[in-house]
Amino acid sequence: MALSKSLDPDHTGAPAQYWRILHRQDFLDAKRIEITLAGYLSEAARRAGCNPLGTPRRYTLTFADFPKATDWHAITTAMLYAALKEKLAKAATEARDGNPRRWPELNGAAVDPALAGAGDA
């Protein structure tokens, strides 16, 4: 399971097209999960053991990013991807203040909308 979107985060000319969660850190008391996604040239490149391209993307998901009845102790990887995609879609539609380096904030966390519109891989 991963996300699919062509993105060249470091302007190398080699866009990453396959974005996979590499790391997940749960903060149960704070009701937030931090995830790190790495981009690969393709799923085949990742499966072949190639290193990720560019800088990993980090996101924070909060309790508000999941359906109300979600058991916080039973959040699956599929649920993380679904919540992230929804959060990215919202971030992409948020009004910006004119500063392209300042990302929109949702549920108290800045969200880099670069992966908005990513499909399932």
Tell me, what's the pLDDT at 24?
97
Tell me, what's the pLDDT at 10?
82
Tell me, what's the pLDDT at 44?
97
Mean per-residue pLDDT pooled into runs of 10, the chain (121 residues) = 92 92 95 95 96 93 93 94 96 77 81 92 91
User: Cα–Cα distances in Å, from 120 out to 25, 97, 101?
Assistant: 22, 30, 27
How buried is residue 112: exposed, middle or buried, by Cβ count under 10 Å (0-12/13-18/19+)? middle
Range of the domain at 56: 3-120
Domain count, the chain: 1
User: Cα–Cα distances in Å, from 110 out to 59, 83, 119?
Assistant: 8, 15, 22
Residue 26: closest CA among 66, 86, 85: 66
